[in-house]
Amino acid sequence: MDAKTQKSELTRTAIVGAAMNLALAEGLEAITLQAVASRLGLSKSGVFSRVGSREALQKAVIEEYGRGFLAEVFVPAMQKPKGLARLNEIVARWIARMRDVEMHTGCLYMAGAFEFDDREGELRDMLFDEITRWRAALRRTVLQAIETGELKVDTDPAQLVSELNGVTMTQLHDARFLRDPQAAERAAQTWQRLLSSYLA
């Protein structure tokens, strides 16, 4: 990669990062080329030349958030054996990320779901696809724990995933709005109590 290309890639990374910060603070609809340009001291045309349209930038933010989330929560857990060990690792990492990252920035998945729950369009579709892909991965992990005999055979994977999502939503609510310093500990305890009702 030559120096010019490398600089261009670094600038694009900075643009997407600035847009991400804007989205986490004010919502995906707050992203505009001008707003991002102003944050970085670039021209609006300079932003456009690297990322394209406003919608392209919004999509890049959703993609980047998804990449980061999976890289921290899901991918490392794949080193664990299929079954309960892997499921526990995913949940532990999810709770830790909520504590260490989303508590300070907010969660694009949750905020975006509220922002776009009553709209149609490509951004909603993309966010929907990202979230359902993540939940499908969780369901597969639950199914594997049923197959290994560690969870009850009558476990409903969709139900468990829904309950688990409720745990992390409550954690984020309590950490950010109630400013409860024990939100992550409470989430971990809730998960253990929930899990005990599903153990074989």
pLDDT single digits (tens) 75-117: 999 999 999 999 999 999 999 999 999 999 989 999 989 998 8
Two tokens, residue 118: 């009553």
The residue written with tokens 């907010």 in the block is 106
Q: What angle do CA 33, 37, 38 make, to 5 degrees?
A: 120
3-class SS at 159? helix
| Nearest alpha-carbon partner for 13 in 68, 71, 64 | 64
Report which residue type is found at 110. M
Nearest to 167 by CA among 181, 145, 180, 186: 186
Report the alpha-carbon distance of residue 20 to residue 105 in Å, rounded. 10
Domains delineated in the chain: 1-55 (1.10.10), 74-196 (1.10.357.10)
Query: Model-level pTM greater than 0.75?
Result: yes
% of the chain exceeding 70 in pLDDT: 95
| Helix, coil or strand: residue 177 | coil
